[in-house]
């Protein structure tokens, strides 16, 4: 049986103060009143039965996720009691699904991306599911052709195509994974034509990813075994609270994909965006005549250009005079104002806020 797992954890620090530890970017209503999580869910409903879609999220965000996806069975939203990155979330999901269907297949998607047109995504996902079900030892990721030398995305180097049944789409073996490069290296990757962005979307058999985790991340064996033994029992929540925090905090790319042998990639020939920063809004929201990006019910500007203005409060007016290349992000209890070319220092700012004892704003 095929399942989809939505990864909806993380706080989205680069979108502070809109996103917080208890209100991640996935539930922000930035795209015409719709959340990223809702958009991700809708892309999956034509491919998977509702009962076969799971969401992995932080314990603090469970209620928000359930409110956003009211169609999902309550038990399909699984709370992670600690932050353990993607290897922990995927290991937990695979452990749960394998208990009920040892031969099940998992498609992993993230809730903070936009993909258009959805038909291209659906076709690529169907290709991946077919390939994995025919080649159960394989791990599949999706490759996005880079449009510029980004230093914020990971890259994958691809080998020659491999046919996939009757599908016209190619499946290519992954030769190497490369983490976020410096600008010169990223430029070289793009110029070579051999590298693609790593989308962070995956398909594999649950038993296969668990075998890979046991081989390459043996510290996860006992916690996952303990959780699986108690899953579906009265002691389920006790087990996950005790054992999940003992999982190593590491991404699935570092833990498994960079070490595994049978890793393949399917081209994802669509408009793909990881909405991880305010600057990324420029790729999904049309600017005005002065190149201002505005996500606000009320905004008034005088002689302003190249700015990004964001608020979810439809009744709040943001007014700007004579500003160029500035980010203004408003939330009910905090407002960020900074030059756009300084937004990479948000993490540094949040550390200062924490150091001064203002955790309630984080």
pLDDT for 164 beyond 50: no
CA-CA distances (angstroms) from residue 40 to 65, 110, 200, 220? 12, 8, 13, 28
How buried is 44 (Cβ within 10 angstroms: 0-12 exposed, 13-18 middle, 19+ buried)? buried
Beta-ladder partners of 272: 115
> Would strands 335-339 and 293-295 be described as parallel, antiparallel, or unpaired?
unpaired
Sheet holding 293-295: strands in order across?
A: 293-295, 308-311, 326-330, 335-339
**Rounded CA separation 290/301 (Å):** 10
Tokens representing residue 23 in the block: 């209100």
- E-state strands within 34-188: 53-58, 77-80, 105-110, 113-116, 139-144, 155-164, 167-178
Kindly report the average pLDDT of the chain as a whole number: 89
pLDDT score of 225: 94
Tell me the pTM: 0.86
Instruction: For residue 12, name the pLDDT band (cuts at 50, 70, 90).
Output: low
> Mean pLDDT over residues 156-177, rounded?
69
Question: Average pLDDT for residues 246-257, to the nearest whole number?
Answer: 93
Distance from C-alpha of 268 to C-alpha of 140, rounded to nearest angstrom: 12
pLDDT of 235 reads 93
Average pLDDT over residues 163-184: 73
Residues 206 and 228 sit within 8 Å (Cβ to Cβ): no
Give the 3-state secondary structure of residue 200.
Answer: strand
Q: Residues 114-138: pLDDT tens digits?
A: 888 999 999 999 999 999 999 999 9
Domains and CATH numbers, the chain: 2-274 (3.90.550.10), 281-361 (no CATH)
* pLDDT for 101 beyond 60: yes
The tokens for 313 are 């409060």
Residue 319 has pLDDT above 60, yes or no: yes
């Amino acid at each position: 049986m095929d399942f989809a797992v939505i990864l909806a954890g993380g706080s989205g620090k680069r979108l502070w103060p809109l996103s917080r530890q208890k209100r991640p970017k996935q539930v922000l209503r930035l795209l015409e009143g719709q959340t990223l999580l809702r958009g991700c869910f809708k892309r999956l409903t034509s491919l998977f039965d509702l009962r076969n879609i799971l969401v992995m999220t932080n314990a603090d965000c469970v209620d928000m996720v359930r409110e956003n996806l009211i169609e999902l069975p309550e038990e399909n939203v699984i709370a992670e009691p600690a932050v353990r990155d993607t290897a922990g979330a995927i290991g937990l999901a695979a452990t749960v699904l394998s208990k009920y269907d040892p031969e099940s297949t998992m498609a992993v998607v993230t809730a903070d991306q936009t993909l258009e047109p959805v038909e291209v995504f659906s076709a690529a996902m169907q290709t991946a599911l077919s390939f994995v079900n025919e080649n159960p030892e394989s791990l599949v990721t999706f490759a996005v052709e880079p449009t510029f030398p980004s230093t914020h995305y990971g890259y994958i180097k691809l080998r020659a195509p491999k046919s996939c049944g009757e599908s016209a789409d190619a499946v290519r073996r992954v030769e190497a994974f490369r983490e976020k490069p410096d600008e010169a290296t990223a430029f070289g990757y793009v110029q070579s034509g051999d590298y693609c962005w790593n989308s962070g979307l995956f398909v594999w058999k649950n038993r296969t990813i668990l075998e890979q985790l046991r081989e390459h991340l043996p510290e996860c064996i006992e916690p996952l075994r303990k959780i699986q033994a108690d899953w579906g029992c009265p002691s389920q929540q006790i087990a996950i609270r005790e054992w999940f925090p003992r999982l190593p905090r590491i991404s699935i790319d570092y833990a498994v994909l960079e070490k595994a042998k049978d890793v393949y990639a399917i081209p994802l020939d669509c408009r793909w965006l990881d909405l991880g920063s305010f600057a990324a809004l420029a790729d999904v929201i049309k600017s005005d005549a002065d190149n201002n990006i505005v996500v606000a019910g009320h905004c008034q500007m005088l002689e302003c250009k190249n700015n990004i203005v964001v608020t979810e409060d439809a009744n709040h007016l943001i007014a700007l005079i004579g500003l160029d290349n500035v980010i203004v992000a408003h939330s009910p209890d905090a407002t960020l104002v900074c030059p756009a070319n300084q937004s990479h220092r948000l993490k540094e700012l949040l550390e200062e806020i924490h150091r001064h004892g203002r955790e309630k704003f984080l």
